[in-house]
A and B are shown apart, each in its own frame.
Chain A
Amino acid sequence: MSDLIRLKSVSHYYGNQCTLREIDFSVADGEFVCILGPSGCGKSTLLNILAGFLTPSSGQIILSARNDDVVGHDIKVVMQNAHLFPWLTVHRNVEFGLRMRGDAKETRDARVMELLHLVGLSGVESKYPAQLSGGMQQRVAIARALAPDPSILLMDEPFGALDAQLRRRMQAELVQIRAVTGKTIIFVTHDIVESVLLADRIVVLTTAPGQIKKIVSVDLEHPRERNRGVYDWVFELEQLL
């Protein structure tokens, strides 16, 4: 597999304070990588850099994108709290990225239908975000991020605000979505179990400053259940953190 994105000794400082130090890793095409670490380990900084909201103080991010190599351009983000535009319907939210780049209405409509079907939300096109449950909102957010067909889907603790049961269901659905779309996913979380259930590889970060402690490959078959195999991994990761 070829590297889709590669970080070369990326560091970030807030003033004199180092939040990320010498981050080096790459993500292959179609890979699911979790960035795991306790709060304050620079996860959000790393996410903001990958999304193009922040520029690193030093280091390089090399994206072998299809269209261009502007960071953030081909990486679409799913935020922690969905952040659907509350004044737009589900349909309008999902097509937002397509409208911004000027796609024709027929193209947009077809894509919206396809994506809502993918996330299991056909029929709610004309509802407003406030009329949806938290889980549904997050699914719409995933559809919105997928709409422009990005190379990479970047997710910032997307299920952190959901209750445990719903979180498990969403995790299983994400595995499904990934299987169907073959998207490369970078998933930020502090939940060890979640990372083991989802990831091909886990980038473990340590705190202050955020540094890579270890990168582990989870060689378990999908779909993963909460069983002995998964918990062995969880135990091993707990030793690291």
Chain B
Amino acid sequence: MSPATPADTGGESEYVLLASGEDESAPGKKTESRLAHYLYGTSTILLFIAAWYAAAELDMINRTLLPSPGEVLSAFTAMAMSGELAEHVAISMYRIGSGFALGLVTAIPLGLMIARIRLVRAFLEPILELIRPIPALAFLPLAILWFGVGEANKLFIMWFGTFFVIIVSVIEGVYNFDAVYLRVAKNLNANQMQMFVYVLLPGVVPFVLEGMRQAVAVSAEMIAAQAGIGFLILNSALFYQTSRVIVGIIVLGFLGMTLDRLLIFITRNVFLRYKRTDEIAI
């Protein structure tokens, strides 16, 4: 096999374009350094918890404002046992999922059209540029007025948060897409519609996945502001239940990380096929 080529886009997108199983560097050495890598990372987290623990035990901080790790752990256990936590996580996941789905379904076709059809771009780009920098949460009060306090306003905010991130990556994806593929498709008698469906759409998948990773961060933010775990955090803070607040925050962190890892996993394995062939040495 040919060596995996680093992505020319650099940085994060290497995940998209590198084949996981095909790196030829000596496997033994690789696992060893990866293990060390994990150990270093874990030790920093442990050190952080130790410092937190010491600060709490030595009464350096107000226990009400910052409970010790032990208290947080027992709060976590209690919430996990009662099923309360699972419920919040489920609600949050459901909202991330539906917001994402709605964001993808709307952003992908519109992004493709904006990037490819000059007239659509001329009409829509200015308004998108105007709305895009507005944080989704700025719309929260309005969304409540429009959609009430129920599910619809939350879905709107989630959609808003993910839509713009994904549409930008779709447009970028089309711009970065090697136009020669479109020529090849055209030469093979593909019409405009077929080029969209069979060439552009699969062609931008790596970029969409990259956009989705960014959207995960945005979703976590939205979740923190309202639904499920967000509600847990805000509500607990109102009652000075700081242990529960911290549990909520940590769970949110894990949720975000898990989703991110999941997307990286999908990118690496399912879309291994997207590895570009025109850069591969013979």
A96 touches B282 (CB 8 A): no
In the complex, how many angstroms separate the beta carbon of B23 from the nearest chain A beta carbon? 14
Task: Give the complex CA separation of A169 and B35 in angstroms.
Answer: 46
Q: Give which listed residue, B186, B187, B189, B280, contacts A101 with CB less than 8 A.
A: B189
Task: Give the complex CA separation of A129 and B187 in angstroms.
Answer: 19
- Which of B75-83, B130-138, B197-205 sits within the interface? B197-205
Q: Give which listed residue, A52, A87, A132, A162, contacts B187 with CB less than 8 A.
A: A52
User: What residues of A have a CB within 8 angstroms of the CB of B276 in the complex?
Assistant: 86, 130
Interface magnitude class on chain B: 20 to 34
In the complex, how many angstroms separate the beta carbon of B3 from the nearest chain A beta carbon? 12
In the complex, how many angstroms separate the beta carbon of B200 from the nearest chain A beta carbon? 11
A86 touches B183 (CB 8 A): no
User: What residues of B have a CB within 8 angstroms of the CB of A53 in the complex?
Assistant: 183, 186-187
Most chain B CB atoms below 10 A, which of A75, A130, A166:
A130
Known: A52-B187, A76-B188, A96-B185. A85 touches B278 (CB 8 A): no
Task: Give the complex CA separation of A137 and B274 in angstroms.
Answer: 15
Which residue of B is nearest A72, CB measured? B187
Which residue of A is nearest B180, CB measured? A83
Known: A83-B180, A87-B205. A97 touches B188 (CB 8 A): yes
Which residue of A is nearest B275, CB measured? A130
User: What residues of B have a CB within 8 angstroms of the CB of A144 in the complex?
Assistant: 188
In the complex, how many angstroms separate the beta carbon of B168 from the nearest chain A beta carbon? 22
Flag whether A221 is at the interface (Cβ < 8 A).
no
Q: Give which listed residue, A73, A129, A162, contacts B189 with CB less than 8 A.
A: A73
B269-282: CB near A (< 8 Å → 1, else 0) gives: 00111111110111
A77 touches B187 (CB 8 A): yes
Known: A134-B282, A162-B282. A83 touches B184 (CB 8 A): yes
B188 touches A148 (CB 8 A): yes
Flag whether B181 is at the interface (Cβ < 8 A).
yes
Flag whether B178 is at the interface (Cβ < 8 A).
yes
In the complex, how many angstroms separate the beta carbon of A215 from the nearest chain B beta carbon? 26
User: What residues of B have a CB within 8 angstroms of the CB of A148 in the complex?
Assistant: 188-189
> Considering the complex, which residues of chain A in the window 140-184 have a beta carbon less than 8 Å from any beta carbon of chain B?
144, 148, 161-163, 166
In the complex, how many angstroms separate the beta carbon of A60 from the nearest chain B beta carbon? 21
Which residue of B is nearest A154, CB measured? B187
> Considering the complex, which residues of chain A in the window 39-56 have a beta carbon less than 8 Å from any beta carbon of chain B?
51-53
Known: A101-B189, A130-B272, A137-B277. A77 touches B184 (CB 8 A): yes
Task: Give the complex CA separation of A96 and B194 in angstroms.
Answer: 11
Which residue of B is nearest A85, CB measured? B181
Task: Give the complex CA separation of A75 and B187 in angstroms.
Answer: 8
Task: Give the complex CA separation of A192 and B216 in angstroms.
Answer: 55
User: What residues of B have a CB within 8 angstroms of the CB of A99 in the complex?
Assistant: 198
> Considering the complex, which residues of chain B in the window 151-188 have a beta carbon less than 8 Å from any beta carbon of chain A?
178, 180-181, 183-188
Flag whether A79 is at the interface (Cβ < 8 A).
yes
B187 touches A85 (CB 8 A): no
> Considering the complex, which residues of chain A in the window 68-100 have a beta carbon less than 8 Å from any beta carbon of chain B?
72-73, 75-77, 79, 81-88, 96-97, 99-100
In the complex, how many angstroms separate the beta carbon of B162 from the nearest chain A beta carbon? 23
Which residue of A is nearest B279, CB measured? A81
B183 touches A166 (CB 8 A): no
A79 touches B202 (CB 8 A): no
Flag whether A133 is at the interface (Cβ < 8 A).
yes
Task: Give the complex CA separation of A162 and B282 in angstroms.
Answer: 7
Flag whether B145 is at the interface (Cβ < 8 A).
no
Flag whether A135 is at the interface (Cβ < 8 A).
yes
Flag whether B190 is at the interface (Cβ < 8 A).
yes
Flag whether B19 is at the interface (Cβ < 8 A).
yes
User: What residues of A have a CB within 8 angstroms of the CB of B273 in the complex?
Assistant: 86-87, 128-130
Flag whether A122 is at the interface (Cβ < 8 A).
no
Task: Give the complex CA separation of A82 and B277 in angstroms.
Answer: 9
User: What residues of A have a CB within 8 angstroms of the CB of B178 in the complex?
Assistant: 83
A51 touches B203 (CB 8 A): no
User: What residues of B have a CB within 8 angstroms of the CB of A166 in the complex?
Assistant: 282
User: What residues of A have a CB within 8 angstroms of the CB of B278 in the complex?
Assistant: 81-83
Known: A82-B278, A85-B202. A96 touches B188 (CB 8 A): yes
Flag whether A217 is at the interface (Cβ < 8 A).
no
Most chain B CB atoms below 10 A, which of A73, A86, A88, A163:
A86
The interface of chain B, by Cβ under 8 A from chain A, is 1-2, 19, 178, 180-181, 183-191, 194, 198-199, 202-203, 205, 271-278, 280-282
**10 further A-B pairs in the complex, CB-CB below 8 A; given A96-B190, A130-B277, A144-B188:** A75-B187, A77-B184, A79-B180, A81-B277, A81-B278, A84-B277, A86-B275, A148-B188, A148-B189, A163-B282
Lowest 3 A-B CB distances belong to which pairs?
A134-B282, A97-B188, A130-B275
What are 6 contact pairs spanning A and B, CB under 8 A? A81-B277, A100-B188, A130-B273, A130-B277, A144-B188, A162-B282
